[in-house]
């Protein structure tokens, strides 16, 4: 079974600045780590590949430093990694992110299964996986807790529906997003790291390297949602206590709301 795992490098700190012009996170030069949710997807992929004799490849979109996250996946046992990295991919919302990953997947050859984390710790939308599956035209299921069985053309998995667990049989190839705490993620292997350090195979693709890429669908340009302003919500601790009969209270309230132009 050939598996592609999408992994994102996320800020390793809460001290992150927001670009005042684009409203997006300034990722360059910020200490970073692999999105913790993606570790569960990676572990599930390695276990499945070990059972079925397949390979695991990893894919990421991010600034050049995201190669560090991909190296970790190679030290864990991934066979090959692709990094989509170009200023033109920057500032992407879910639509543009899933478009870039779609192009990345298309460049990685045949696959049976794509695994994503359930969500990230920075963007946190949990929509990239399902949207990527839609773009690829394959079935998908979110919040997978465990995989029971894999046959040549199906995968049977438990899905967390919050109040119930549903068991689904899904046609391959498909995309699954993996819930947290579904396994114990392995650490990068020191031996593997020493074996391949400095020779890690990370294929870096810029937009110009992808003939079918349409710049108008990528990065900030291709993002229908753009952040206009980010600000902490105003805290208002002013209090006003009204006394009187119901009629007096209603009249007072009406007066205040009218004065503040709420009605």
Ligand X SMILES: Cc1cc2nc3c(=O)[nH]c(=O)nc-3n(C[C@H](O)[C@H](O)[C@H](O)COP(=O)(O)OP(=O)(O)OC[C@H]3O[C@@H](n4cnc5c(N)ncnc54)[C@H](O)[C@@H]3O)c2cc1C
Per-residue three-class SS string for 174-217: EEEEECCCCCCCCCCCHHHHHHHCCCCCEEEECHHHCCCCCHHH
> 3 or 94: whose CB is closer to ligand X?
94
Q: Around Cβ 81, how many Cβ atoms within 10 Å? A: 26
Q: Per rule CB under 6 A, is residue 37 in the interface with ligand X?
A: yes
**By C-alpha distance, which of 27, 28, 60, 25 is closest to 41?**
60
Are 156 and 147 in contact, with CB atoms under 8 Å apart? yes
Residue in 69, 73, 170, 185 with CA at minimum distance from that of residue 113: 170
Q: Which range of residues in 67-75, 112-120, 163-171, 199-207 is near ligand X by CB under 6 A?
A: 112-120
Check binding of 230 to ligand X (CB under 6 A).
Answer: yes
Q: How many residues bind ligand X (CB under 6 A)?
A: 32
> Is residue 90 involved in binding ligand X (CB under 6 A)?
no
Binding mask 193-222 for ligand X (x = CB under 6 A): ------------------------------
Neighbouring residues of 224: CB distance < 8 A, sequence distance ≥ 6: 93, 95
Q: Which is nearer to ligand X, 29 or 53 (CB)?
A: 29
The footprint of ligand X on residues 117-176 (CB under 6 A) is 117, 119-120, 122-129
Which residues sit at the interface with ligand X, rule CB under 6 A?
A: 6-8, 24-25, 35, 37-38, 59-62, 92-94, 97, 101, 116-117, 119-120, 122-129, 225, 227, 230
């Amino acid at each position: 079974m050939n598996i592609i795992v999408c992994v994102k490098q996320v800020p390793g700190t809460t001290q992150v600045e927001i670009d005042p012009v684009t409203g997006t996170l300034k990722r360059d030069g910020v200490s970073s780590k692999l999105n913790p949710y993606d570790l569960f997807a990676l572990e599930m992929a390695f276990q499945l590949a070990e059972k079925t004799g397949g390979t695991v490849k990893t894919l990421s979109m991010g600034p050049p430093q995201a190669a560090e996250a991909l190296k970790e996946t190679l030290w864990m046992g991934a066979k090959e990694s692709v990094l989509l990295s170009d200023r033109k991919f920057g500032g992407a919302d879910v639509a543009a992110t899933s478009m870039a990953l779609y192009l990345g997947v298309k460049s990685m050859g045949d696959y049976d299964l794509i695994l994503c984390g359930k969500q990230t710790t920075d963007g946190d939308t949990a929509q990239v996986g399902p949207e990527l599956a839609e773009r690829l035209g394959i079935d998908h299921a979110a919040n997978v807790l465990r995989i029971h069985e894999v046959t040549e053309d199906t995968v049977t998995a438990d899905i967390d529906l919050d109040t119930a667990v549903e068991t689904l049989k899904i046609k391959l190839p498909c995309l699954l997003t993996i819930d947290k705490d579904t396994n114990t993620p392995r650490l990068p292997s020191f031996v593997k790291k020493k074996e391949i350090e400095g020779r890690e195979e990370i294929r870096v693709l810029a937009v110009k390297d992808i003939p079918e890429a349409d710049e108008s669908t990528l990065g900030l340009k291709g993002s229908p949602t753009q952040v206009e302003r980010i600000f902490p919500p105003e805290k208002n601790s002013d209090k006003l206590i009204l006394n009187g009969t119901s009629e007096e209270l209603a009249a007072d309230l009406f007066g205040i709301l009218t004065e503040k132009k709420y009605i």
